[in-house]
Amino acid sequence: MMGIILPVLQGAGSVALALVAFALSFTWPSLREPIAALRTDRARLLASLGLGLVLALSAALVYVTPGVLLRDPLGMLLAVPVAILWLTGGVALVIRGIVLGGAARGISYALATVAVAGVIAGIVSALVTQHGVTDTVTPIGGFLLALGALAAFSLWARAEEPAPRPLVV
């Protein structure tokens, strides 16, 4: 009996954390107003860094949770509902990104990418685990997402620079 209850509780905990992470990914712009109302630049900087850290942790939860849920032997039965939930969240974040602008658009697209990548990595990871092969899909996917995030951030930071003038000889 305990062998059945423990995975169910583990799955419920990861789903709860992932839903909190999804909720944060949808509501984080409302947290910017209280940050902007802080009195000092240092307080605003620390609050913004804290918000960025929380967003990074929520993105990690959104990425890892499908793999955690689907590694259980009963997890393959959950594959379709989990995939639908994560893909729905990804599509909602893309639609939200279309409606918003600026940093909110970029973060919405980034979290949508993380959600879709998490579903794909979770399903592939579950299939690999079912066949007794060591799972390297989740860490490699996480590394590629982090690398892509750094590249996207670099491109976004350079978008504000003026275009170089052509050399006239």
Domain map of the chain by residue range?
A: 9-158
Find the Cα–Cα–Cα–Cα dihedral 43, 46, 52, 56, rounded to 10°.
-150
Segment among 48-52, 76-80, 102-106, 122-126 with least mean pLDDT: 76-80
Q: How far apart are CA 165 and CA 145, in angstroms?
A: 34
The pLDDT tens digits of the residues spanning 62-97 come to 888 887 777 766 666 767 777 888 888 888 888 888
pLDDT at 6: 56
pLDDT at 140: 80
Structure tokens at 83: 């995939």
pLDDT at 79: 75
pTM of the model: 0.72
Please list, in sequence order, all residues whose beta carbon lies within 8 angstroms of the beta carbon of residue 2, skipping any fewer than 6 positions away.
Answer: none
Instruction: Give the count of alpha carbons within 13 A of 6, CB side only.
Output: 5
